[in-house]
Structures are given as structure tokens and as C-alpha cells.
Amino acid sequence: MGITYEISVPSSRKEEMIDITGQIRELVKRSGIRDGICVVHAMHTTAGILVNENYDPSLKEDMLDFLSGISKGKWRHDLEDNNASAHLKSLIVGQSQSIPIKSGNLMLGTWQGICIAEFDGPKLRKVSVSIV
Ligand code: ZN
């Protein structure tokens, strides 16, 4: 038994890391599930979900710069849609993260937070949150 929620997250820039840890914690509480797994999944091909440090805001910019550096290139999809690097960044970050739940709390480390990574915004992004 479990429950799946869907949340909408608006992005306001072309590229952005948006912390959604608070919203995910609320859903875990609402689910009433005390011990299990929370799967956070971005329903998109040019966005991703990551778990990393959410304290120093400059790190978010570093992560975006890092991904821009390794996704530079001459890509076929740019002739079609002009957003190949956004797809490649999404490929690297991945669409889902699984976080264990113990005693009703997400088992995140002190510096860990859950972010949706926007690579082709601004858009309204859908994130599914399954708690089982
Ligand atoms: Zn595309």
C-alpha cells in the first residue's frame, strides 16, 4: 500500500535548481507512512531530480555551470528543437531519486536537500511523489 501525489513546480529562469524538500516532507507527513521509501520523479525530459547540498546557494550555480560545460557540443537535436543540452543535462541528473523514510521522517543528511533541476525553463514542472 502506498500513495502517489503530484505537485506542480514553477520555474522562473532558463536554468535553475529549485529546493522542494519542504514540500516533500509535508507529503510524507500527510501520507501517514512511517517507514518506507519516497520516490520523487520529474515527469519531463529537460528537467531532473537531485539530492545534494542545499545550504550554499553558489553551489547550485556551480552545478549548473558544471553541467553546461560537459554538455557543450554540436547536437543533431538542436536542428529540431534547439534544446539538446537541456536533454543531456537531464540525462546526467536523472529523473528520480529515492529517499528512505524512518519514523515518519525523510532520511536526509544534515546538508542534503531535494531539488528539481530546470534546464529549459521557465516552465511549470510536474513532479510525482510516491510514498510506499
Ligand atoms: Zn527537445
How many angstroms is it from 82 CA to the middle of ligand 1?
Answer: 7
CA of 34 relative to ligand 1 center, distance in Å: 39
Can you tell me the mean pLDDT for 67-89?
97
Does residue 97 register a pLDDT over 90?
yes
Quote the pLDDT of residue 1: 80
- Cα–Cα distance, 99 to 125 (Å, whole number): 20
pTM of the model: 0.96
Distance from Cα 129 to the centre of ligand 1, integer Å: 24
Beta bridge partners of 55: none
> What is the whole-number distance in angstroms between the Cα of residue 46 and the centre of ligand 1?
7
Class of domain 3-131: mainly beta
